[in-house]
Chain A
Amino acid sequence: MTGATLAPTPRLSRRNRRRAASIGLSAGIAALAIFWMSPMYLVFVNSMKDFGEILRNAAALPERFMSDNYEVAWELADFATALVNSLFVTVLAVGGLVIIGAMAAWRMARRPHRWHKVLFSLFVVAMVVPFQTLMIPTVQLSTWLGVVNTRSGLVLLYLSFGMPLTVFFLHGFVQSSVPREIEEAARIDGASSWQTFRLVVLPLMRPMIATVSILHAFWIWNDFLLPLLVLFDPARRTIPLAIFSFFGVHSDQWDLATAALVMGMVPIVVFFLVFQRFIIRGVAAGSLKG
């Protein structure tokens, strides 16, 4: 009799314990996530204060929301120009990389003769070479090619530096996921090589092209050293360069500097938030293959 009345009690307490654990877990993750965002918070709130207020209490919300720092920093860093330059370079370089890379990858995957295999191995080796190994010759070659200090020259350099990874990923994708039968059907219907590529193969490569484009877009948008070495003209600076030279002049004016940092972060963070599910999955997949 007593056994029957006691029986539900442990089950109930177990369920309670589980609920308590789950609430604790939720609170723990939330606390960690807030802590994780605290550097962003510090930069953001202080970008709306004057310098004295930053020194008084860096953690507090601003006494009043003011945009003065942004207006000054926007002008001083010539941020509008930098934004246009970054967009120009990133869009052209990523677009060029995936188109030229897809052409090569498809052809190399479909006709794996000796030279294509040699080329593929060279691409794989090149992916290992650190940028510092190529940095000095790159400056020299750009001078010889007459592409120093131009944005299209920078695009050209990215087309070269990004090609191995692009071909590597797309090559693997053609082999694993583009069915040969469809291409052959197009051939029999009289399509030329270019038509087959453009109308049949390229659309089928879309998922991997998207992944590669995201990887490259983050790399090129955030890249710093290559533009530092080949762009000198302030009017041609990309965002990382503009922020860097802004800090060269105003490094201890943290009221302006935090505003410049927020401006530098906003475009890429917005891009990330809009496509976040896709990006996190794509980046994880990209690293697993590499």
Chain B
Amino acid sequence: MALKELPRAAASAGRTTAGRRSSRTGRTARRDDAMFVGPAVLLFGGILGAGFILGLWYSLVEWNGVNREMTFIGLENYATLLSDDRMRGSAWFTARFALVTTVLSNLMGLGLALLVTQPAPFQRLYRAMFFLPNVIGGILLGFIFRFVFSTAFDSLGELTGVGLFQLPWLGTPATGFWGTVIVFMWRSSGYLMAIYVAAIVSVDEDLYEAARVDGANWLQSTRRITLPLIMPAVTVGVFLMLSISSKLFDVIFALTNGGPYGSTEAFALNIYNEAFIYNNLGLASAKAVVFFVAVGVLTLVQVRFTQRREVER
């Protein structure tokens, strides 16, 4: 403790003796702060920062966006939300969707990662193939599967008579839900695979060697060595998917646009529709604030969880 204080004491002593010089370096330091950090602050504050505050304000007004007229109505928008059945429906969809896709795409990603880290030919090629859907934009993905689920499946169903192709994919609420899940999994499993591959290849090879000497088979060494050691990556993968899937917009916008009958209207899409289809910008802003709070709580849980993990380790 005393030792730690020593340099600081010396520094403050130095500052008093060289008072004039430090005021000049203080000025250059401030100038350098402005020069290096200033542009980032302006860009960040001018749009993101100002936008956030403006958004809070908009959530307290009634405003149709067409004319300039805004009426301050306090918390009335938030009260309206409590009885908004459509929003409750979309929150329920988003929660189910996030949970299902988080579990399934993490399992899929882990499975793929275990496969492509086995000694077999062309593994680099397979990794690229599984990862590929992740680089394609959400709008394109949505449209690709609109084609696959409609015209392509119709044609295949007629040719083969396989029931899976003849289902009205995207036509009923149940198939619409699973159709959306499939598209999202196609995109995110490869991403999670990359995360899990990075974790798996960093496991010490000697552990497997020792297990092999002790007569462990592949299943045993995977369960007893690989899985426990990549748990930190699992935590990352789970929270990453919860966050991404609860904010999903593009894919759904192109694939179902919330249909059939609003059954796949994700929360992000609900806000968009409220703002730009129904022109209730005040109400939409209140929803946007609620959305931020929900995502924020999820993030806080993640931070807590990760911290506790690190303490335990």
Contacts and interface: CB of A to CB of B under 8 A. Distances in A.
Interface string B114-130: 01101111111111111
Contacts of A122: 44, 49
Contact of B247 (A55, A130, A156): A130
A130 B281 CA distance: 17
9 contacts: A100-B43, A104-B41, A115-B33, A133-B292, A136-B55, A136-B288, A240-B139, A254-B147, A280-B127
Contacts of B13: none
Contacts of A132: 247, 249, 267-268, 271-272, 288, 291
A33 B144 contact: no
Interface stretch (B4-12, B99-107, B152-160, B173-181): B152-160
Chain A contact-residue range equals: 35 or more
Contact of A157 (B41, B47, B115, B127): B47
Question: Chain B: interface secondary structure?
Answer: helix
Interface of A: 22, 25-26, 28-30, 32-33, 36-37, 39-40, 42-43, 46, 54-59, 100-101, 103-104, 106-108, 111, 115-116, 119, 122-123, 126, 128-138, 140-141, 156-157, 159-161, 163-164, 167, 193-194, 197, 218, 221-225, 239-240, 243-244, 247, 254, 257-258, 261, 264-265, 268-269, 271-273, 276-277, 279-281, 283-285, 287-288, 290
Contacts of A268: 135-137
Interface residues of B, number: 88
Contacts of B32: 107, 193
A254 B115 contact: no
Contacts of A193: 28, 32, 35-36
Nearest to B57: A137
B51 interface: yes
Contacts of B281: 136
B292 A130 contact: yes
Contacts of A100: 39-40, 43
Contacts of B120: 22, 25-26, 29
A30 B129 CA distance: 10
